Amino acid sequence: MEQPIKILIVEDNVIIADDMQSMLEEIGYEIVDNVIVYEQAVEVLKTQQVDLVLIDIILASDKTGIDLGKHIRDNYDIPFIFVTSNSDRATVENAKTVKPNGDLVKPFEQQDLYTSIEIALSNFTYGAGGKTSENADASDDSPMSNSILKDSIFVKKQHLYYRIQFGDIQFIKADNVYLEVNTVDKKFLVRSPLKDYLEKLPKNKFYRAHKSYIVNVDHIDAINSKDIMINNNLIPISKDFKEFIISAMNS
């Protein structure tokens, strides 16, 4: 049986914290603890299994939520989401330096909370925080891995987040600061470096075919010396990728 996602709440407004806990438990998440300061959060992380942390940026202590985010990045391989009512430019820029996996601006509804958590869990790549490949492989059998949606990724379009099955993604094209994610009948724009996005995709299906393209090899319809064809789209390929495909065809 799949274990519930274990969440740590770090919020110094007790009323807001209790409301968050009630909303999360109603959805089906498990609250590991509900603390108000940096030091308490650090102790919980030492002693408890935590799958995700919700952090208020401004805490009732000398250490801020941003300090806690840095501590998590340096010591743990779990995602965290900043929750704040302070969305001024300086705070946002400071928060971005620790690379949170999401953010929520107060006040928010239960659905906003749920969506932010599921997207953070779905798009988070466990093992990317400096773990060895051996440790990363071992985590596949741990309870933590149950909290990832392993067969899909969320992509935002207008005001909705669409869940896309990995198998439905045909190819991804880099276009300036955006990526164009192509499925059979839809296109989605994502703001991300191509290399970073590749790390979120299954390594046995998705390959860097060209400096500007990631392709799903299951969708390749044809190949020549310079291109492959996917759903009537000609996609340029590098010499290394061509050799890889030809070798795979002949094996």
pLDDT at 72 over 90: yes
179: its two tokens = 């990526």
Per-residue pLDDT, 87: 63
Q: How confident is the model at residue 89 (pLDDT cuts 50, 70, 90)?
A: confident
Q: How distant, in Å, are the alpha carbons of 71, 88, 173, 201, 202 from that of 241? A: 39, 45, 16, 17, 17
Per-residue pLDDT, 66: 94
Q: What is the pLDDT of residues 114-140, one digit of tens each?
A: 989 988 888 786 655 433 333 333 333
Nearest Cα to 173, choosing from 223, 218, 222, 214?
214
203: its two tokens = 């390594």
Gap between the Cα atoms of 202 and 146, Å rounded: 16
Compute the mean pLDDT over every residue in the chain, rounded to the nearest whole number: 84
Beta pairing, strands 52-56 & 80-84: parallel
pLDDT at 192 over 90: no
Per-residue pLDDT, 90: 79
Cα torsion angle, 212, 218, 220, 226, sign = positive
Burial class (CB in 10 A: 0-12, 13-18, 19+), 251: exposed
Instruction: Provide the total of helices (H) and of strands (E) in the chain, helices listed first.
Output: 8, 15
Per-residue pLDDT, 164: 86
Q: What is the pLDDT of residues 35-58, one digit of tens each?
A: 999 999 999 999 999 999 999 998
End-to-end CA distance of the chain: 39
Residue 155, classed as helix, strand or coil, is strand
Q: What is the pLDDT of residues 136-183, one digit of tens each?
A: 333 333 333 333 445 778 777 766 677 788 999 999 999 887 899 999
Cis peptide bond N-terminal to 236, omega within 30: no
Per-residue pLDDT, 4: 83
Nearest Cα to 27, choosing from 7, 44, 42?
7
Per-residue pLDDT, 100: 93
Gap between the Cα atoms of 156 and 131, Å rounded: 29
Please count the other Cβ atoms lying within 10 Å of the Cβ belonging to residue 220: 18
Per-residue pLDDT, 189: 87
pLDDT at 92 over 80: no
Return the residue matching tokens 């002949």.
Answer: 250
Q: What is the pLDDT of residues 96-118, one digit of tens each?
A: 889 999 988 888 888 889 989 98
pTM of the model: 0.61
137: its two tokens = 């492989």
What domains appear along the chain, each with residue ranges and CATH number? 6-146 (3.40.50.2300), 151-250 (2.40.50.1020)
Per-residue pLDDT, 251: 64
Gap between the Cα atoms of 116 and 154, Å rounded: 10
Gap between the Cα atoms of 53 and 79, Å rounded: 7
Over residues 216-238, mean pLDDT: 94
